[in-house]
Structure 1
Amino acid sequence: MMSLAKDTVIGFIGSGVMGKSMAANLMEAGFPLNVYTRTKTKADELLEAGAVWKESAADLAAESDVIITIVGYPSDVEEVYFGDNGILAHARSGSFVIDMTTSKPKLAERISKEASKKGIEAMDAPVSGGDIGAKNGTLAIMAGGSETAFHELRPIFDVMGSNIVHQGPAGSGQHTKMSNQIAIASNMIGVCEAITYAEKAGLDPDRVLSSISTGAAGSWSLSNLAPRMIAGDYDPGFYVKHFIKDMKIALESAQEMELLTPGLELSLSLYQRLAESGGEDYGTHALFKMFRA
């Protein structure tokens, strides 16, 4: 297996709300960066900063030491990794692939199995922390894969995150992210109800927030997203449509384990209503619109 160094070439696929900042931080840390995305204009800022454009995922994989993907849906992950033009068909033996998309645990296991046949080390490493965490390099990174690969890739993870934990073998990162999304799903309902209650009671919601955010009710969503709710700023740190995708994966996995998840089911139903009313491209905190209306 190759030794990770500062001249390690990173190939980055996906330049959405979070991916763009994650890639930019890697460049700022000194890593040479190849980039590919289906819509080239989304990579313009990275290209202007010195990233090298590749015409396909196959070209990027063939010319990179570590390939990182953070795309939209499990179907996108399958498309970019498998097939004649996929990453696994063109990545060099001894290279690493890291899927940071929130995707299906079983798909992570499949990628790892197929990668190992080609001498490629695969990790699933979904993240949490939204656009703020991506920009500041303070994401929570939940890694699944071999412990050896995790330690070798740690310098890369350290650039993008501040809470980085190896959770276990392939698929473990995705299972951990499902636990994360389940916790957020119910918590977001509570945050929305709390702020709505404060407003209906005639209180200053910002002042209420200053009291409740540091006590037992405190949470990341309350501190970081409730202010956006109050301001009516629904720009995405993380898209509603992607959260719906995550909750569906979590629900499917929970059902396979015969696990009761009423909070998750309620949150999913509310977010689906929000998406159907035209809110799929809002940030997840836009669930507040369902309560404020």
Structure 2
Amino acid sequence: MMKNNEIVIGFIGLGVMGKSMAKNLLKAGYSLVVSTRSKEKALEVIEAGAKWLDTPKDIANAANVVITMVGYPTDVEQVYFGEEGLIYNSSKNTYLIDMTTSTPTLAKRIYHEAKEVGIFALDAPVSGGDIGARDGKLAIMVGGDEEAFEAMQPIFEILGTNITYQGQAGAGQHTKMCNQIAIATNMIGVCEAIIYAEKAGLNPEKVLQTISSGAAGSWSLSNLAPRIIQGNFAPGFYIKHFIKDMKIALEEAEKLEMNVPGLSLAKNMYDRLAEMGEENSGTQALYKYWQQQN
């Protein structure tokens, strides 16, 4: 097992969540090299002590642990495969950890191709949004070899507090689909509850104070409902990325011959929001769907 002073972590993808995750690794004393599409997005992390590198190939040459937190499965493919990708440029015994919400099929492909060249690969998507990333309290669901999971546990503990080994390659991504399915219909309920309170002439803040500690309680109710009441629709997690996740979940459910009416309804509603120009808003902007309907 590598000691902390022997580890150089590469981090690719410095969006809303990735930026905070990278900064937490720096605070914990790890050496960090970073890359993202726009160097401007990396400036805050560079100022905190990370070193900028231009390409995934450069990251692969410099690091022995690489974390990716990009947008879409197509981005994951671009980062991992090909002449400039991580798999064929990393040294033997490197650990590759994809924390993007991606497809179980792609996670398995990464695992098998990495294993062929002597590299360890884990799929480790996360939940907790911008707040969880900032506070190092993400839920991390991990698929891959259990020995690789155990070796990376100290790094996971910097990023999250609920860290669970779910099984072989792809299991982390399947678990994240369960997470997104649960969130999809929960967000409908959260928004409808706030709108009902408003139409009934209640004080939404007082209603939230009461129901969030009871049986209706959820992460979304506690963390996103206050933003809705304040009119704050800035992204802790982008609608466009949630639509991507729901599309993956729908495709995986179809493979499992499973009907998911709640998920289908939520995706249709979020698709409508994207058509309204809200794709870069936070998921709590689902509240605006009812404004459009009335």
1:8-66 per-position Cα deviation (integer Å, ceiling 9, x unaligned) = 10000000000000000000000000001111111001111110111111011111010
Instruction: Tell me the residue number matched to 2:243.
Output: 244
Q: Which residue of 1 aligns with 2:17?
A: 18
Query: Equivalent residue for 2:231?
Result: 232
RMSD, aligned CA: 0.8
Aligned partner of 1:125: which letter?
A: A
Structure 1 position 3, deviation (Å): 2.1
The 2-side partners of 1:243 and 1:20 are apart by 19
Confirm whether residue 35 of structure 1 aligns to residue 34 of structure 2: yes
Question: 1 CA distance for matches of 2:208 and 2:4?
Answer: 45
For structure 1, which runs of at least 5 residues remain unmatched after alignment? none
Cα contact 1:4–1:152 (8 A) shared by 2: no
Query: What corresponds to 2:253 in structure 1?
Result: 254
C-alpha displacement at 1:6, in angstroms? 3.6
Classify the secondary structure of the residue corresponding to 2:222: helix
Partner residue, 1:289: 288
Q: Deviations over 1:185-236 (max 9, x none)?
A: 0000000000000000000000000110011111000000000011110000
In structure 2, the residue matched to 1:137 is: 136
Paired residues of 1:7 and 1:31 also in contact (CA < 8 A):
no
Identity score, percent: 61
Q: Does 1:169 align with 2:150?
A: no
Aligned positions of 1:172-191 closer than 5 A: 172-191=171-190
Check if 1:268 corresponds to 2:238.
no
> CA contact under 8 A between 1:105 and 1:171: conserved in structure 2?
yes
Give the AA of the match of 2:42: A
Q: Please state whether the residue corresponding to 1:183 is helix, strand or coil.
A: helix
Q: CA deviation at 1:132?
A: 0.2
Partner SS, residue 71 of structure 1:
coil
The answer as to whether partners of 1:4 and 1:153 remain within 8 angstroms in 2 is no
Q: Quick one: which amino acid aligns to residue 43 of structure 2? A: D
Matched residues in 1 for 2:117 and 2:50: separation?
27
What are the within-5 Å matches in structure 2 for residues 79-118 of structure 1?
79-118=78-117
Residue identity matched to 1:215: G
SS in 1 for 2:66: strand
CA distance in structure 2 between the aligned counterparts of 1:126 and 1:4, rounded to whole angstroms: 24
Match of 1:77 in 2: 76
Structure 1 segments, 4+ long, off by >6 Å, are none
1:150-200 C-alpha deviation (Å, 9 max, x unpaired):
111000000000000000000000000000000000000000000000000
Amino acid of the structure 2 residue aligned with 1:270 = M
Structure-1-length-normalised TM-score: 0.99
Q: Distance in 2 between matches of 1:49 and 1:210?
A: 37
Which residue does 1:218 correspond to in 2? Answer: 217
* Pairwise CA distance, 1:4: 4.1
SS at 2:227 equivalent = helix
1:55 aligns with 2:54: yes
Q: Partners of 1:53 and 1:26 in 2: how far apart? A: 15
Q: Does the aligned pair in 2 maintain the 1:12–1:68 contact within 8 Å?
A: yes
Answer with 243-252 or 46-55: which moved more: 46-55
Equivalents in 2 of 1:138, 1:216: separation in Å? Answer: 23
Instruction: Number of aligned residue pairs: give it.
Output: 292
**Would you say 1:120 and 2:123 are equivalent positions?**
no
CA distance in 1, matches of 2:37, 2:187: 32
Using the TM superposition, give the Cα deviation of residue 292 of structure 1 relative to its aligned residue in structure 2, in angstroms.
3.8
SS at match of 1:84: coil
Q: Which amino acid aligns with 2:181?
A: I
Match of 2:64 in 1: 65
Q: Distance in 2 between matches of 1:228 and 1:260?
A: 32
Query: What TM-score results when the alignment is normalised by the length of structure 2?
Result: 0.98
Q: How far does the alpha carbon of each residue in 1:120-145 deviate from its partner, in whole angstroms, 9 at most, with x for none?
A: 00000000000000000000000001
2:148 and 2:5 map into 1 onto residues whose CA distance is 17
8 Å Cα contact 1:142/1:164 also seen in 2:
yes
